[in-house]
Each structure stands twice: as structure tokens, then as C-alpha cells.
Amino acid sequence: MWKAVASNALTLFIVLLIAAAAVVAWGRNEFVKPGPLAEAICLQVERGASLASVSRNLETRGAVSDARIFRIGADYSGLASNLKFGSYLIAPGASMAEVLAAVTAGGQSTCGQEANFRIGIASAEVILRELDPATNRFVEVAAFDPAAGAAPADYVEAAAQPDLRYRVTLAEGVTSWQVAEALKRADFLEGAVAEIPPEGALAPGSYEVERGSARADLIRRMTEEQAQTLAELWPTRAEGLPYASPEEALIMASIIEKETGLADERAQVASVFVNRLERGMRLQTDPTVIYGITKGEGVLGRGLRASELRRETPYNTYVIDGLPPTPIANPGRLSIAAALDPAQTDYLYFVADGSGGHAFAATLEDHNRNVEAWRALEAEQKAAGGDGGVTGVQGE
């Protein structure tokens, strides 16, 4: 009898083990197989949120088939306590394992709203945009200049939400004064700007920040990024360049930055200025003259006068020899790279060609022909109501 009881108990135990193994296998399969989500969603994980609340939210929105399996899988993976605050794009068909990885990996949020404070050469504005989960594209919600008045209601409402992300973007060619003045108007930053950073010391680019970040810390990041770029590129420079130091290369890069906005022209523009320096010719570039007038504090907003081209200032490269004493803007990486590795050309001149680029020339005769062609096009543009102006190196 006892033998029969023991046998039955063993059989039951084995059955239970098999059943448990089957349940575990089923749960594991449920955790890693494609999920039920039909369309992408943006999942918000609030600060201090529990795994239980997040799993219930996922189940309610159809992103996971069973909140309990999601929690068990998180416990088994050792990630149950690793939830990261933010907004995350959950793709259609994402498995529970993939969802868990998204909300525990940390780093930049992948959906929701973002306020991007763009500091440009002529203006600075806040762009509020939101990622559309269905198309995975950002849609602009509002845009405003913080110096022009009160923020729109859409921005005020978004700024009240804890998961709004903030970004500051510097355009290539902005001056340090423009950056310092613009940052004073960023309502999501704190602290004073003690002094205007040295010209050329800030790296253009996009910087993610948190609300309440110190302005001084952001400027420090920009400065460190620019110093790192220059330190990285200087040792790889071409041989024989007419720069005595990395600082002189930065000055040249800032001139290149202000002369062309076309990436594929930068090396050619750099070659013109390097060739002129090597021949003892003056640079004769308008942006340096303009900087001598404005000191980088805003845009000139008009053409240069003949008297200004003759006036002797440290930045008037029609009058002085060599480089001006400081950069005239904050150049981007591409312009620094062009200054340190210019194209090998015999060009000494360039002028606008009407297409957004420039016509280059090795001789004054060819350059004068290019200028005449531009003048003719400029006259046509003015007759049609447009605006023009010669840019580039002028003849001597």
C-alpha cells in the first residue's frame, strides 16, 4: 500500500514538475515573442514610477499581453528596479523583453515633446515639437522668440509637464555675444552668464539639457567641446600651413565659416586664404571688416561702405596684413577641418555666383570676369525686387 502511495506521489510530483516547466516555458515565450501592439505608442515613465504601475499602463494600452508576466520577466532579468524616467517610443509588435529594455536602458527619451532653443546668426527662437508615434517624425507645435514677448500657451502647458525635454542648438557662425545674450532668455536655465566667452571658443551643435541646468555649466560644455575638436584636428593638419598656433587656425576657421555655408566649398575657401597668406597678400574679406564694426554684437544689416573698407581697425583685412587678432565667430568642426586641411588649388579670389555658392579664380583677370557676371545677375535680382551683395575676396 505504502509503495503504491509513494509511487502515486512521485508520479504527481513529476506531473507538477512538467506542468511547472511548461508554465515557465510558456511565460518565457510570452516574454520574448512579438507583442500585441498594432501601432506605435509613446510611453511616459514618471519620476518614481513603480514597475507595477508601468506594467498595468502597458497592458491597458495593449503593449503587453499580461502585466504579471512583464513584472516576472523584469524580476528574473534583474531589471525590476531599473526604471528610468522619460518618454519612450514603443514600436508595433515590440516584445516584452524589448519594452523592458527601452524603459530601463536610460539615456535620451525617444518620444514625447521637446523644446529646442535654436540660437542663429540673425535670431533665436524656441521650437516646441512632438514626435508622432505613427510616423516617427517630429511635428512642430509652436515657435516663438523669447525676446519678443510672452510664450504661447502650448509652450507654457508643455513646460508644466515633467517629461518635457530641452535642447539648445547653436548654429555655425554665431558669435559668443549672441550666444551669451540668447542664453539669458532661456527660461529653463538658471544662473548668470558671468562674462562673454572668448570668440571662437564655443562649439556649434546641439546640447541636451535638463530644466534648471546652470547657464555657466552649458557654456563650459560648449567650450570643452570646441577645445576637444581643435586638439583632435590640430595634430592631423596639412604640412606647411601658415599658422603659428591652433588659435590662429581657429581664427582662419571662423573666417571660412562666415564666408560660406556650403560644406563642399569650405576647403576651397580655405585654399584661397592660405594661398594669399603664403604670397603675402592681404585677406580682403568682408566678414572681418563687419566684425570690426559690430564687435560680434548683432548683425550689421546693411552693406559695407567704402569708408569702412578704408578705415583701419584690427579686423579690417583690406588694411592689415595677415590674420585679425581673434576669431570673428564660433566655427563648426567642418570649417576647422578645412582650415587645417585646405584644398590644393591655385585660387586667390572668389565671389558669389548667385546659386548660394562662389566662383573661384586664380587670376585677377578671371576674377574680374566673375565679378562682372555676378554684378549683372545682382542687377537682375534687384530689378525683380531681390537683394544682393558681393561676398568673397576682392581684387587688388
**Are residue 219 and residue 250 in the same domain, yes or no?**
no
Domain of 34, CATH number, reads 3.30.1490.480
pLDDT at 77 (0 to 100): 80
93 with 144, same domain: the answer is no
| DSSP string computed for 153-191 | HHHHHHHTSTT-EEEEEEPTT--HHHHHHHHTT-TTEES
Q: Within a domain: residue 316?
A: yes
Q: Could you tell me which of 335, 44, 27 has the C-alpha nearest to residue 171?
A: 335
Residue-wise pLDDT tens digits, 325-370: 999 999 999 999 999 999 999 999 999 887 788 999 999 999 999 8
Asked whether residue 182 falls in the same domain as residue 214, the answer is yes
Q: Are residues 100 and 118 in the same domain?
A: no
Q: Do the beta carbons of residue 222 and residue 331 sit within 8 Å? A: no
Could you tell me if residue 149 is inside a domain?
A: yes
Same domain, 49 and 95: yes
* Average confidence (pLDDT) over 161-189: 94
Which range marks the domain in which residue 51 is found?
Answer: 29-104
**Residue 350 resides in a domain:** yes
Does a structural domain hold residue 2? no
Q: Is 8 helix (H, G, I), strand (E, B) or coil?
A: helix
Query: Is the separation of the CB atoms in 234 and 246 below 8 Å?
Result: yes
Domain end among 81, 104, 127:
104
Q: What is the mean pLDDT of residues 81-100?
A: 82
For residues 179 and 245, state if they share a domain: no
Instruction: Decide if 18 is inside a domain.
Output: no
Instruction: Select the more confidently predicted residue: 131 or 119.
Output: 119
> Residue 40: which pLDDT band, with cuts at 50, 70 and 90?
confident
- 277 and 385 housed in the same domain: yes
Query: Which of 85, 104, 123 is the last residue before a domain boundary?
Result: 104
Considering the domain architecture, whether residues 247 and 382 belong to the same structural domain is answered as yes
CB atoms within 10 A of CB 163: 17
Domain end position, chosen among 104, 127, 156: 104
| Cβ pair 57, 103 in contact under 8 A | no
